[in-house]
Structure 1
Amino acid sequence: MLEMKPWYQSKTVWGALIAIAAPLLGRAGLELGGAEQAEIAEALTTLAGTVGGLLALYGRLTATKGVGG
């Protein structure tokens, strides 16, 4: 794995968080099956990538200083 990405774009991280939350939700009366967990992880990964991209674009457009090396 040479290419890096932010943690919030990782399906593995979202899947793990959902897997941790699923039993807790089950105790509260909300059951999540494996298919639902996978769908939620996919949706959260897409949402996180979109929000991250929008924040990056907003940050660049509202920046007061240029980017340089």
Structure 2
Amino acid sequence: MDEVKPWYLSKTIWSALVSVGATCGAMFGVPVDAGSQAALTEAILQAVSAVAGIVAILGRVGATSRIG
């Protein structure tokens, strides 16, 4: 495992956060099944990846120096 990626692109991190959120939701009477948790995790990860890509593009467009 030599690949390095930012924490916010980790499926494990997002799965854990969704799991914690689903548990908290269940405490307040909002049941979330395992299938919904998996779909929510995937949707969040795709959204985070898209936002990261947009931020990278905007960063490059706003840069004041050339890539060498």
Q: Which amino acid aligns with 2:2?
A: L
Percent identical: 38
Root-mean-square deviation over aligned CA pairs: 1.2
Given the two structures, how large is their TM-score scaled by the length of structure 1? 0.88
Runs of 4+ with >2 A deviation: 65-68
- What's 1:65 paired with? 65
- What's 2:55 paired with? 55
| Runs of 5+ consecutive residues of structure 1 not aligned to the other structure | none
Deviation of 1:39 after TM superposition, in Å, equals: 0.3
Given the two structures, how large is their TM-score scaled by the length of structure 2? 0.89
- What's 1:7 paired with? 7
Deviation of 1:30 after TM superposition, in Å, equals: 1.2
Q: Which amino acid aligns with 1:58?
A: L
- What's 2:45 paired with? 45
- What's 1:29 paired with? 29
Aligned length: 68
| Runs of 5+ consecutive residues of structure 2 not aligned to the other structure | none
